[in-house]
Chain A
């Protein structure tokens, strides 16, 4: 079955540590996205990538970094510079950058930093 996988489902880290969230897709989609959800708010875009070795900052990129070395993989690193890292993180992909195409989402990773 085609889809998007994110791991782990739950992640706990101590403050000051960097942590990397995994996102893999086998849909052969060009575009991939990372979103963050906080209670009572809509999904906010952290980073997006149109093709391999290309990515762009979204609305809340500070304290995060990404890489896109392979078409199917788009890992997100939450660095110690991110002031409020505890949140639910969703990865998504779409066929292309064309705005009409819907996005396909992974199951998400809930990160708790203490």
Chain B
């Protein structure tokens, strides 16, 4: 059974703090790793799709790294702002029965306090 673990479950930081959290996934048969951001009362939206070991992607103050050999990805937020408050989900694609199936972690809920 494929499992995707995220830690911590929740995180409270002050505005301006930098923070990071982890996604662990199966290291065998790796194809890609997705990161999504889910703000309250909105739809989850894709942040990054990472495919290469050692890959680093950046979007504004948010960046992510990928280690496929050991099966983890880090998401970093530099200088957190209240608008960064959201749940951050990672998802691991499993190719089952010829279909794209995403296995999601439970998410890290980030609260940034002014």
Name A's B-contacting residues (CB within 8 A): 4, 31, 33, 35, 40-45, 48, 50, 56, 58, 90, 94, 96-108
Provide the B32-48 mask, 1 if CB < 8 A to any CB of A, else 0: 10101000011111100
List the B side residues contacting A31 at CB < 8 Å.
Answer: 99-100
* Contact present for B106 and A42 (CB under 8 Å): yes
* Contact present for A99 and B104 (CB under 8 Å): no
Question: How far, in Å, is A107 (CB) from chain B's closest CB?
Answer: 5
* Contact present for B100 and A42 (CB under 8 Å): no
Distance, CA A101 to CA B4, complexed state (A) = 18
List the A side residues contacting B46 at CB < 8 Å.
Answer: 102-104
* Contact present for B99 and A97 (CB under 8 Å): yes
Question: How far, in Å, is B36 (CB) from chain A's closest CB?
Answer: 8
* Contact present for B42 and A107 (CB under 8 Å): yes
Question: How far, in Å, is B54 (CB) from chain A's closest CB?
Answer: 17
Question: How far, in Å, is A32 (CB) from chain B's closest CB?
Answer: 11
Other 11 A-B pairs with CB < 8 A, given A31-B100, A50-B99: A43-B91, A99-B32, A99-B94, A100-B31, A100-B49, A100-B51, A102-B36, A103-B46, A105-B36, A105-B43, A106-B43
Can you list 7 residue pairs at the A/B interface with Cβ under 8 Å? A31-B99, A40-B9, A45-B101, A94-B100, A99-B31, A102-B36, A103-B34
* Contact present for B32 and A42 (CB under 8 Å): no
List the A side residues contacting B43 at CB < 8 Å.
Answer: 4, 90, 104-108
Tell me the B1-23 residues at the A interface (CB within 8 Å): 4, 9
Closest residue of A by beta carbon distance from B35: A102
Question: How far, in Å, is A48 (CB) from chain B's closest CB?
Answer: 6
Question: How far, in Å, is B105 (CB) from chain A's closest CB?
Answer: 5
Determine which residue in A41, A45, A94 has the highest number of CB atoms from chain B within 10 A of its CB, and name it. Answer: A45
List the B side residues contacting A96 at CB < 8 Å.
Answer: 100
List the A side residues contacting B34 at CB < 8 Å.
Answer: 102-103
Tell me the B65-114 residues at the A interface (CB within 8 Å): 89, 91, 93-95, 97-107
List the B side residues contacting A4 at CB < 8 Å.
Answer: 43
* Contact present for B106 and A97 (CB under 8 Å): no
* Contact present for B102 and A45 (CB under 8 Å): yes
Closest residue of A by beta carbon distance from B97: A56
